[in-house]
Amino acid sequence: MSNTDKIFINMCNDILDNGVSSEDQVVRAKWEDGTEAHTIKKFCVVNRYDLSKEFPILTLRPTNLKAAIDEMLWIWQKKSNNIKDLNSHIWDSWADENGTIGKAYGYQIAQKHKYSEGEFDQIDRVIYDLKNNPYSRRIIVNMYNHNDLHAMNLYPCAYSMTFNVTGNKLNAILNQRSQDVLVANNWNVAQYAILIHMLAQVSDLEVGEFVHVIADAHIYDRHIPLVKELISRAAYEAPKLIINKNIKNFYDFKVEDFILENYQSGSQIKKIPVAI
């Protein structure tokens, strides 16, 4: 069993055993049939992954790493808010008639700001600092811009990254305000682990620790039996991540530059109901 599987199982058990239900509360989310989508949740779940020891992808069920990377590149590399630039349909329900999700995610990454060293957008500033001032304690990306929230079709869930170099290792903290654990947990973990690998490689650093902070980690009521079945499964050892080491420029990475070697997993859970 991988350490990632252990972390996921422990988190789910903690939510199921010690979480708080929203049954007596008014909730925004609804199921497709109009029924209120209630959850059981834990406040401030903190999971730590040592990227130098394993790539954090679940083996209890498969995570579509290529699709997760594609979404991550859409936000951080293409800096796009248009679903036409994405090779999946995961954002279709949030897009407007022009195909955009408003001033969210990639739009915020792309906004340029003035610094004493020049003008940078948020990701280019991170890359500049990692190469020129790696021990800075100010290497932060924040997509939760209150001035633009009214123009976002969905407020950012995973909204900030704090990067910190210790010795020659790049560490990072991902802050997430809310997460649907069954649907999104390992998707987010895997894609932001890839982002850290990318930034470390182009900055001549090694990968260190990835800390994932989730303010509201919840399991939806209709997901509870699915989660219980999932965490009772047999698990496998973590696969090995192979990255194209010839890539030295952040903007040259493609989905095809990342391969999982010996990735074994349980079967996929199909037709998961999604609350909107």
Per the annotation, binding residues for dUMP are: 137-138, 177-180, 188, 218-220
Burial 231-264 (b: 16+ CB within 10 A, else e): beeebbebbebebeeeeeebeebeeebbebeebe
Residues making up the annotated binding site are 64, 137-138, 177-180, 188, 218-220, 275
DSSP β-ladder status, 20-21 and 179-180: unpaired
User: Can you tell me the distance from the alpha carbon of 194 to that of 126, in angstroms, rounded to the nearest whole number?
Assistant: 16
Q: What would the two tokens of residue 52 be?
A: 């130098």
Q: Check: CB of residue 227 under 8 Å from CB of residue 11.
A: no
For the beta carbon of residue 62, count every other beta carbon within 10 angstroms.
17
Q: What would the two tokens of residue 65 be?
A: 């790493």
Q: Check: CB of residue 67 under 8 Å from CB of residue 232.
A: no
Q: What would the two tokens of residue 117 be?
A: 């060293």
Catalytic center residues: 157
What DSSP string describes 168-182?
TEEEEEEEES-EEHH
Return the bridge partners of 216, or none.
43
Q: Go through the chain and tell me how many residues it has.
A: 276
Residue listed under structure tokens 């079967």: 267
Q: Which residues are within 8 A (CB) of 147 and not within 5 positions of it... i.e. 6 or more apart?
A: none
